[in-house]
């Protein structure tokens, strides 16, 4: 369409199909309108409403603020800054209503460079959609919304809409409040969840908030979805800044679905700076059947004072829903208050989790908040790696992973879990992984390469109180843990089943290929603790190559301070359990270097076996190795414990046994111990003669430094193709046929060979003669000869244009001229037949010429007069069979007609021999006997003097009243009769 500017008093009118117009609104009356709403109401679809600087208030009519057509409303945009330009117009209240109400018919509207400043309890822009309606293609940019905190004012308000949003973009807009408390928001979109609503399947798709600023507006953006079967798709928050004073900036970005089987698919939260009192980021579902997929949270700086950032999916037993392809990467989360968690990611009530990545984040808690909590029931592909988590307060923890589900869920599997390369500094627990589902399975899990510094509780803990539960292919490997205070543990591994009862059999816990290897632990009370209650193993649990260094003294310990504590409790109803403790170094344990309790009753035998081989036990305060007896009824079976090949040095007691039976030891290097054996049980010793070569922890090759962390890429978040700018123009190509045409003939053009990387929106042809048309193909006729240039302009869907040209040559058409009737044409308009007829073909030699018969006019008459003027020949002499329009007499001399030689000699002798010489004598008017019907009548009717070009003589034409006039007529009649006779022969 061709843009134009209209300047028409009060109500410029446009008609359907007309070109778009630009309408000027000026508060000083210099434009088309002074009233903003009148201009909007009178504009036509596709028009641009230019609003000049000034303040516009009140409506002045009913529903003038309802925008039900696509418009571009432009004030003073400043694309280089957030908000409107310095000369932006200010749009106030419309009769106690929002400034603009956008309906579905406003799809395609753009608002830019405008300031909205409502002063009552209404928003600047309101969205109003009925069920099954869709508002699409709306952009609000480079604008400003003010006064949002007054009386629950909302900047962009979509309260209780039943319809769909598609391609709704808010970009470089500033939302400003003044700090007053209230139920308010910069953007508030709420799907109507009224029970009377019949809407289902409502979606918010392709929604973006880009580079906006929110200041003291309560909640920056809140989108709530409440209809069944619908949800949100491809929502983007990028580059926004949210900040404000305490209690005036409460929430950042809130996305909430609370209907059945709704979903959030495609969400990107990137590069935002959010500082609020409560949730900086909250994505939650609150009913059955929810799916949250393809979520990317990256590059953000989130700070909260009272609550956490949340990503939560709730399920129901019948339709639990899923959380899939979620990545939280490279963010900074900070909490300055006593909140529960800084970042909380949950998938409760049976929700299945897959491809969850929480990687390379910095999570700081300056209060008593836990840095990161992750909870789910079933999961596959969880990677929590490379994060830096800090919570120095005694009530804060670093990372807590909980696997739990309601009682009806059994046999849930959590597999392919990596908790690697995190740096955790905490006053509480460092890294805890707790799973407690009935018959649950943790499979293929790695806790590796983490550095944990704690001050109060546990460094790394993997705990499985699960009846019939299983740890399979689980490794705690190459971590560095420092917990220097009392009542703490460096590493803790436990699995617990249930003993048999009179009603139910035993439900043991199973360890399968579980290992604790090459860790570096400094601890005060427990360096490593392993517990198996009603447990069994399919193969040996390995505790290998670790370095356990004790740092506390016995005076401030809450209980036994051991390098390693092993507790196996069971009955003979539990299958075999094997534990291999090898190649570890334990130094400076205040109590025991290693305490082993594999207990059963006095009358039963335990199937648990412990192999204690190749370790270095040094400088233990009470004993290097202790076989424990928890009470008088339960003791360890000494015969199930193997102690060999260890270096046991500088301990108070080398071996202390309170076990049943005799502890047999052999091949151990014993040096510097005060006592070799002690306790209530017997100890047999067969020491080695020298120090054993041990494969113990090596700081150069072991520990976390050699662990490489590489977080997988599981999602790119929202599909942002609706935001992409297509800067590639189309390729314009066309053919024209023919290249040369005559005036009035068609030339055809075809642009089907044109291409574009996205799609072609239109074709415009300019033919070089002032005419244009559109379409992929066209035809055109030129009215005048000449060389013309045809131009094709191709526009793609992004508005890019490319043109190309080709030339065409237009020639003059071959035209025929219809002569006037022979009765009125003067002889001078045609070439007399006598001017070109050779004498040999039309006249006999002079010697043969004789006077005509008496039936003809006398010779003197023919020699002294010419044919009379303005006299038509008799009707019998005018042939009617041949039209005179085919050939003018000027183009065909009578010499070309062979029938001219058929005239009788007497007819040719009467021509006028005295007026011309023999060389130029031509046929008289009796040449009408030829096939050319125009020759004889035209000559006979000639009245003007005729000049013979060859002889240079002139024949005078007699007047109608002269004496020879009648004679001439008679002669011509006779000659015509003779000519007709010749034709008939």
pLDDT tens string 37-56: 899 999 999 999 999 999 98
Q: Which residue has the higher pLDDT, 20 or 32?
A: 32
Q: What is the pLDDT of residue 558?
A: 56
Residue 680: left (phi > 0), alpha (psi -120 to 50), or beta? alpha
Q: Which secondary structure element, helix H or strand E, spans residue 766, and what is its range?
A: strand 760-766
What Cα–Cα distance (Å) separates residue 56 from each residue in 28, 51, 62, 577? 11, 10, 17, 83
Cα torsion angle, 255, 258, 259, 264, sign: positive
The pLDDT-based confidence of 693 (bands split at 50, 70, 90) is very high
pLDDT tens string 553-566: 544 555 678 999 99
Q: What is the pLDDT of residue 630?
A: 65
Most confident of 21-35, 220-234, 834-848, 921-935: 21-35
Instruction: Return the bridge partners of 383, or none.
Output: 357, 418
| 3 state SS for 296-350 | EEECCEEEECCCCEEEEECCCCCCCCEEEEEEEECCEEEECCCCCEEEEEEEEEE
Lowest mean pLDDT of 473-477, 479-483, 557-561, 907-911, name the range. Answer: 907-911
Q: What is the pLDDT of residue 829?
A: 42
Q: What is the pLDDT of residue 874?
A: 43
Residue range 699-715: mean pLDDT, rounded: 89
pLDDT tens string 825-855: 444 444 444 444 444 433 444 444 344 444 3
Q: What is the pLDDT of residue 195?
A: 46
- Does pLDDT of 713 surpass 70? yes
DSSP 652-695: SEEEEE-SBSEEEEES-EEES-SEEEESSSEEE----SSPPP--
As given in the structure block, the two tokens for residue 873 are 């020949």
Q: Which residue has the higher pLDDT, 813 or 737?
A: 737
Residue range 970-978: mean pLDDT, rounded: 60
The answer to whether 590 and 651 are in contact (CB under 8 A) is: no
Q: What is the pLDDT of residue 897?
A: 40
- Does pLDDT of 911 surpass 50? no
Lowest mean pLDDT of 334-348, 411-425, 733-747, name the range. Answer: 334-348
Residue listed under structure tokens 């009192």: 277
In a 3-state reduction of DSSP, which class is residue 171?
Answer: strand
Q: What is the pLDDT of residue 331?
A: 96
- Between strands 115-116 and 777-781, the pairing is unpaired
Lowest mean pLDDT of 73-82, 429-438, 955-964, 968-977, name the range. Answer: 955-964
Contact partners, residue 724, CB within 8 Å, separation at least 6: none
The answer to whether 159 and 194 are in contact (CB under 8 A) is: no
Residue range 912-918: mean pLDDT, rounded: 38
How big is the CA angle at 704 (ends 698 and 709), to the nearest 5 degrees? 140
The pLDDT-based confidence of 792 (bands split at 50, 70, 90) is very high
Q: What is the pLDDT of residue 390?
A: 86
Note the Cα 643 to chain centre separation in Å: 65
| φ, ψ of residue 798 in degrees (nearest 5) | -95, 0
- Does pLDDT of 578 surpass 80? yes
Residue range 586-602: mean pLDDT, rounded: 82
Residue range 64-68: mean pLDDT, rounded: 87
Q: What is the pLDDT of residue 724?
A: 81
Q: Which secondary structure element, helix H or strand E, spans residue 434, and what is its range?
A: strand 431-435
Q: Which residue has the higher pLDDT, 151 or 571?
A: 571
Q: What is the pLDDT of residue 659?
A: 86
Distance (Å, whole) CA 948 – CA 895: 15
Q: Which residue has the higher pLDDT, 186 or 891?
A: 186
Q: Which residue has the higher pLDDT, 984 or 505?
A: 505
Residue range 111-122: mean pLDDT, rounded: 80
Note the Cα 303 to chain centre separation in Å: 29
- Between strands 21-25 and 66-67, the pairing is unpaired
The answer to whether 21 and 42 are in contact (CB under 8 A) is: no
Q: Which residue has the higher pLDDT, 285 or 102?
A: 102
Q: What is the pLDDT of residue 632?
A: 63
Most confident of 282-286, 293-297, 603-607, 921-925: 293-297
How big is the CA angle at 901 (ends 912 and 870), to the nearest 5 degrees? 45
Looking at every residue in the chain, the average pLDDT score rounds to: 78
Q: What is the pLDDT of residue 486?
A: 66
pTM of the predicted structure, to 2 decimals = 0.74
Distance (Å, whole) CA 744 – CA 785: 9
């Amino acid at each position: 369409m061709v843009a134009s500017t209209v300047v028409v008093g009060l109500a410029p009118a446009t008609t359907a199909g007309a070109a778009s117009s630009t309408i000027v609104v000026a508060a000083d009356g210099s434009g088309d309108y002074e009233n903003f709403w009148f201009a909007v109401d009178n504009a036509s679809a596709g028009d641009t409403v230019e609003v000049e600087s000034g303040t516009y208030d009140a409506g002045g009519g009913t529903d003038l603020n309802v925008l039900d057509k696509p418009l571009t409303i432009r004030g003073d945009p400043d694309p280089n800054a957030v908000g409107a330009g310095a000369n932006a117009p200010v749009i106030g209240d419309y009769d106690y209503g929002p400034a603009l109400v956008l309906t579905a018919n406003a799809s395609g509207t753009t608002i830019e460079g405008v300031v909205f400043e409502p002063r009552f309890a209404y928003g600047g822009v309101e969205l109003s959609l009925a069920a099954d309606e869709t508002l699409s293609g709306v952009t609000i940019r480079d604008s400003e919304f003010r006064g949002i905190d007054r009386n629950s004012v909302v900047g962009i308000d979509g309260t209780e809409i039943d319809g769909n949003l598609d391609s709704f973009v808010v970009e470089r807009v500033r939302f400003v409040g003044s700090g007053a408390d209230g139920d308010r928001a910069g953007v508030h979109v709420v799907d109507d969840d009224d029970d009377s609503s019949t809407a289902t399947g409502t979606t918010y798709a392709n929604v973006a908030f880009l580079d906006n600023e929110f200041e003291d507006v309560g909640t920056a953006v809140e989108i709530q979805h409440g209809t069944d079967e619908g949800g949100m798709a491809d929502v983007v928050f990028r580059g926004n800044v949210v900040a404000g004073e305490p209690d005036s900036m409460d929430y950042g970005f809130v996305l909430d679905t609370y209907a059945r089987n709704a979903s959030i698919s495609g969400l990107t939260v990137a590069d935002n700076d959010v500082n609020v009192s409560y949730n900086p980021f909250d994505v939650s579902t609150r009913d059955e059947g929810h799916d949250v997929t393809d979520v990317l949270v990256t590059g953000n700086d989130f700070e909260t004072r009272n609550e956490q950032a949340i990503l939560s999916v709730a399920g129901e037993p019948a339709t639990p829903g899923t959380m899939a392809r979620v990545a939280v990467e490279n963010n900074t989360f900070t909490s300055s208050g006593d909140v529960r968690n800084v970042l909380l990611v949950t998938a409760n009530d049976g929700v299945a989790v897959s491809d969850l990545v929480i990687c390379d984040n910095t999570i700081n808690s300056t209060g008593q908040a836990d840095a990161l909590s992750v909870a789910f029931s079933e999961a596959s592909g969880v990677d929590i790696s490379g994060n830096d988590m800090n919570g120095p307060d005694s009530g804060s923890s670093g990372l807590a992973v909980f696997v739990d589900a309601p009682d009806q869920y059994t046999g849930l599997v959590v597999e392919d879990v990596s908790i690697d390369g995190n740096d955790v500094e905490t006053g509480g627990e460092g890294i805890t992984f707790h799973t407690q589902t009935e018959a649950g399975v943790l499979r293929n899990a790695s806790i590796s390469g983490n550095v944990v510094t704690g001050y109060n509780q546990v460094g790394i803990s993997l705990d499985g109180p699960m009846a019939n539960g299983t740890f399979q292919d689980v490794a705690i490997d190459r971590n560095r843990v420092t917990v220097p205070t009392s009542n703490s543990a460096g590493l803790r591994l436990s699995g617990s089943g249930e003993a048999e009862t009179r009603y139910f059999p035993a439900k043991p816990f199973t360890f399968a290929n579980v290992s604790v290897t090459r860790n570096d632990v400094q601890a005060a009370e427990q360096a490593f603790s392993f517990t198996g209650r009603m447990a069994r193993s399919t193969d040996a649990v390995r505790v290998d190559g670790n370095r356990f260094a004790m740092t506390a003294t016995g005076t401030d310990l809450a209980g036994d301070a051991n390098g390693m504590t092993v507790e196996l409790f069971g009955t003979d109803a539990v299958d075999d359990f094997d534990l291999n403790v090898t190649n570890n170094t334990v130094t400076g344990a205040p109590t025991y270097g290693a305490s082993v309790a594999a207990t059963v009753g006095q009358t039963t035998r335990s199937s648990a076996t412990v192999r204690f081989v190749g370790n270095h036990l040094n400088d233990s305060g009470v004993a290097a190795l202790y076989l424990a007896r928890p009470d008088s009824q339960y003791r360890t079976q000494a015969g199930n414990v193997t102690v060999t090949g260890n270096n046991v040095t500088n301990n108070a007691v080398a071996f202390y046994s309170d076990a049943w039976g005799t502890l047999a030891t052999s091949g151990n290097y014993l040096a510097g111990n005060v006592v070799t054996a002690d306790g209530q049980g017997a100890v047999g010793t067969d020491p080695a003669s020298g120090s054993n070569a041990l494969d113990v922890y090596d700081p150069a090759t072991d520990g976390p430094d050699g662990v490489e962390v590489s977080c997988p890429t599981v999602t790119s978040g929202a599909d942002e193709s609706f935001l992409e700018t297509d800067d590639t123009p189309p390729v314009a190509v066309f053919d024209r046929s023919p290249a040369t045409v005559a005036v009035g003939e068609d030339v055809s053009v075809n642009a089907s060979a044109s291409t574009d990387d996205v799609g072609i929106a239109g074709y415009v042809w300019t033919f070089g003669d002032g005419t244009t048309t559109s379409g992929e193909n066209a035809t055109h006729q030129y009215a005048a000869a000449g060389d013309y240039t045809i131009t094709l302009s191709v526009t793609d869907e992004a508005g890019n244009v490319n043109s190309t040209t080709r030339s065409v040559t237009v020639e003059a058409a071959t035209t025929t001229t219809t002569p006037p009737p022979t009765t009125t044409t003067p002889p001078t308009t045609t070439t007399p037949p006598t001017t070109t007829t050779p004498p040999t073909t039309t006249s006999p030699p002079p010697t043969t010429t004789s006077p005509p018969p008496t039936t003809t006019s006398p010779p003197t008459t023919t020699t002294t007069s010419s044919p009379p003027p303005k006299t038509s020949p008799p009707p019998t002499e005018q042939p009617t069979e041949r039209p005179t329009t085919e050939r003018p007499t000027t183009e065909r001399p009578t010499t070309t007609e062979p029938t001219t030689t058929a005239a009788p000699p007497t007819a040719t002798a009467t021509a006028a021999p005295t007026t011309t010489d023999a060389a130029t004598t031509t046929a008289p008017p009796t040449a009408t006997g030829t096939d050319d019907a125009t020759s004889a009548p035209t000559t006979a009717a000639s009245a003007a003097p005729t000049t013979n070009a060859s002889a240079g003589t002139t024949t005078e034409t007699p007047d109608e009243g002269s004496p020879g006039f009648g004679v001439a007529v008679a002669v011509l009649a006779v000659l015509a009769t003779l000519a007709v006779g010749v034709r008939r022969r």
